[in-house]
Amino acid sequence: MPYSARSRAIEPFHVMALLARANELQALGHDVIHLEIGEPDFSTAAPIVAAGQAALAAGHTRYTAARGLPQLREAIARFYARRHRLTIDPGRILITPGGSGALLLATSLLVDPGRHWLLADPGYPCNRHFLRLVEGDAQLVPVGPEQRYQLTPELVERYWREQSVGALVASPANPTGTLLRRDELAALSAALRVRGGHLVVDEIYHGLTYGVDAPSVLEVDDDAFVLNSFSKYFGMTGWRLGWLVAPAAAVPELEKLAQNLYISASTLAQHAALACFEEETLAILEARRAEFARRRDYLLPALRELGFGIAVEPEGAFYLYADIGAFGGDAFAFCRHFLEREFVAITPGVDFGRHLAGRHVRFAYTQSLPRLEQAVERIARGLRSWRPDAL
């Protein structure tokens, strides 16, 4: 019996084939440098782990309410007040199983079959796949350095269709690390509002910015939907915990969806996350942010010197999206070459969309500076042996 058309239409993460091969090479004894995975190399901060252990010992193992622990939603609201000087009613915050859970709620609420959101291309691939999951679609909008890889009001006007119901943007963005400024968020909000569209903003990499703070869309549009996560800045990837901030009128419908889709987020993870906002924890996280900035400031000029095209300096996340046009060949073959010959794993652009995907790769600076230095040495050597026409 055939599987659903929905399932067949959702593309795989192409990098997973490279990751599987990288793991095979490691098992054979090779020293693989992983620059392909979007996961901080730091383990979860000790105060968060201790809070999780204490919660487990105290028997906090039952379901919470679908919206999440009240004290965690209140802590997040206080965090918005501290970081953005925003007064957010905790009742507007829903705790979700990772940022993916927040995206699932938003797409389920806002997208009917046959409708679509505008998405920047390149962008995080799961966004378009979640839309397909709810029988919607993604209107991919080609963006480049001239737009700093972000949607603009002009692009909204050009690509808006009768079936359009909103736009999803990310700031900072994966794979490019670019931000939307406060005025840019306001202009996007206005462009969508005049068309009756929703604005959904992925703020999952908030906190991981360098030399500038990323504004929240809620500073300019109180009706926007915000996706966030404890995975990146807070370093809780495996705990699978995120949140969604929504307009108050949408919360009852979202709560109903949460009750049916996943009942509640992990109780243990929620109790652990309460420690994220303690001063001791925030000091650790800020030190890690400074370390990511040092890594970016090393790897960016090093790759440019080797000939990689990085036209826009990333201001957030932990990625460099690089044009390999100067070297020729296809990005997937390029990544395969460096994995097999130099044991450096990087991600091909095909995972992030269609616009010039075959000539871009993504580097994740989620390794220590000494490892990044080793990687650059290997990449320089690998470029000398790269022969695109021989593949």
* Per-residue pLDDT tens digits for 51-101: 999 999 999 999 999 999 999 999 999 999 999 999 999 999 999 999 999
Please check the confidence at residue 294 and state whether its pLDDT lies above 60: yes
Same domain, 136 and 264: yes
Is 228 part of a structural domain of the chain?
Answer: yes
Contact 158, 102 (CB under 8 A): no
Which of 251, 277, 303 is at the close of a domain? 277
Provide the β-strand partners of residue 348: 361
14 versus 37: the higher-pLDDT residue is 37
pLDDT of amino acid 94: 98
- The number of domains in the chain is 2
Beta bridge partners of 344: 33
> What is the mean pLDDT of the segment spanning 35-60?
96
336 and 215, same structural domain? no
Domain containing residue 244: CATH number: 3.40.640.10
Does 54 lie in the same domain as 74?
yes
Residue in 103, 114, 126 with CA at minimum distance from that of residue 13: 126
167 shares its domain with 286: no
Based on the fold, state whether residues 79 and 227 are members of the same structural domain: yes
- Residue 51 located in a structural domain: yes
The reply to whether 259 falls in a domain is yes
Residue ranges in the chain assigned as alpha helix (H): 5-9, 15-27, 46-57, 70-84, 98-110, 125-133, 153-159, 182-193, 251-261, 267-273, 279-306, 331-342, 369-385
Using the predicted structure, report yes or no on whether residue 203 has a pLDDT greater than 90.
yes
Residue 192 lies in a domain: yes
Residue in this structure with the two tokens 């079959």, named with its chain if needed: 113
Instruction: Give residue for tokens 């091969």.
Output: 21
Q: Is 38 helix (H, G, I), strand (E, B) or coil?
A: coil
Among 59-63, 167-171, 361-365, 385-389, the range scoring the smallest mean pLDDT is 385-389
CATH of the domain at 34: 3.90.1150.10
Whether residue 249 sits in one domain with residue 120: yes
Backbone angles phi, psi at 164, to 5 degrees: -70, 140
Q: Is residue 130 part of a domain?
A: yes
Instruction: From 319, 300, 307, 332, select the one nearest 383 (Cα to Cα).
Output: 307
Q: Is there a domain that residue 71 lies in?
A: yes
Tell me whether residue 63 is exposed, middle or buried, using C-beta atoms within 10 angstroms of its C-beta: 0 to 12, 13 to 18, 19 or more.
exposed
pLDDT at 287 over 70: yes
For residue 249, the SS3 value is helix
Query: Who contacts 364 (Cβ-Cβ below 8 Å, separation ≥6)?
Result: 34, 35, 36, 37, 38, 318, 319, 347
Query: Does residue 286 belong to any structural domain of this protein?
Result: yes
Q: Are 263 and 301 in a shared domain?
A: no
pLDDT single digits (tens) 188-197: 999 999 999 9
The contacts of residue 223 (CB under 8 Å, 6+ apart) are 199, 247
Domain enclosing residue 79, as ranges = 44-277
Does position 231 have pLDDT exceeding 80, yes or no?
yes
Q: What confidence score (pLDDT) does residue 390 get?
A: 56
Q: Are residues 138 and 248 in the same domain?
A: yes
Q: Is 169 in the same domain as 69?
A: yes
Residue 5 has pLDDT above 70, yes or no: yes
Claim to verify: residue 297 and residue 372 sit in the same structural domain: yes
Residue 8 has pLDDT above 70, yes or no: yes
Tell whether 14 and 161 lie within a shared domain: no
pLDDT > 90 in the chain, percent: 93
Query: Is 388 a member of any domain?
Result: no
Report how far residue 179's alpha carbon sits from residue 168's, in angstroms, rounded to the nearest whole number: 14
- Asked if residue 325 and residue 255 are part of one domain, the reply reads no
Sheet holding 360-364, edge to edge: 319-323, 360-364, 347-348
Residue 84 to residue 78: CA distance in whole angstroms: 10
Domain end marker among 250, 277, 304: 277
